[in-house]
Amino acid sequence: MSRIGKAPIAIPAGVSVDVKDHVVTVKGPKGTLTQAVNPELDIKIEDGHVTLTRPSDDREHRAQHGLYRALIHNMVVGVSEGYRKEMELVGVGYRATATGQVLELSLGFSHAIFIKLPPEVKVEAKSERNKNPLIILESDDKQLLGQVCAKIRSLRKPEPYKGKGIKFVGEVIRRKSGKSAGAK
């Protein structure tokens, strides 16, 4: 039995979960999310918990059991608490400014980069003296937030020699020594 799949999902106060025609809808204080679920999986809502059961021990059923349980859990956490990612711009002259849903990035190219963010994602840019600029992204949809962060990071990935680029706060970049260290 899948350890992830068989774990029940607790529904916090203020969150409602509905299942209709194999589409799970989760409503909470932060928003509403929907997810289509494989019709072969059975979803039960009872005693403030959501449980998923699979019809057999086929490889595909086992894989989807854990997958859909994790997706529904992420939706419940998203509409109740929300998700937050902080990204740091490391490099001389790197700047970020947020105007509404448009993020403007100066990353050492000859022109500024403008990114229009989806309305579900809230963005904030912080710049303090003698500190690297921060981009703070918040959303109730974990998958969408990760996709937006990956897109922003792909514009200037951290390089291994000086560590310049866009990285997550707390991320450790593996550093390489330059060519002078290998010549000895």
Give the domains, in start order, of the chain with CATH numbers: 3-80 (3.90.930.12), 83-168 (3.90.930.12)
Give pLDDT, residue 106.
93
Q: How far apart are CA 29 and CA 5, in angstroms?
A: 26
pLDDT, one tens digit per residue, over 30-70 is: 999 999 999 999 999 989 999 999 999 889 998 999 999 99
- The torsion angles phi and psi of 80, rounded to 5 degrees, stand at -95, -45
What token pair was written down for 77?
A: 């956490």
What token pair was written down for 156?
A: 């200037």
What token pair was written down for 146?
A: 């990760």
Q: How far apart are CA 119 and CA 32, in angstroms?
A: 13
The helix/strand/coil state of 97 is strand
Confidence of residue 4 (pLDDT cuts 50, 70, 90): confident
Q: Please check whether residue 156 is in contact with residue 113, taking contact to mean a CB–CB distance below 8 angstroms.
A: no
pLDDT, one tens digit per residue, over 102-131 is: 999 999 999 999 999 999 999 999 998 999
Q: How far apart are CA 37 and CA 52, in angstroms?
A: 10
Predicted TM-score (pTM) above 0.85:
yes
pLDDT, one tens digit per residue, over 144-179 is: 999 999 999 999 999 999 989 999 999 898 988 888
Confidence of residue 2 (pLDDT cuts 50, 70, 90): low
Give pLDDT, residue 177.
87
On the question of pLDDT at 181 being above 80, the answer is: no
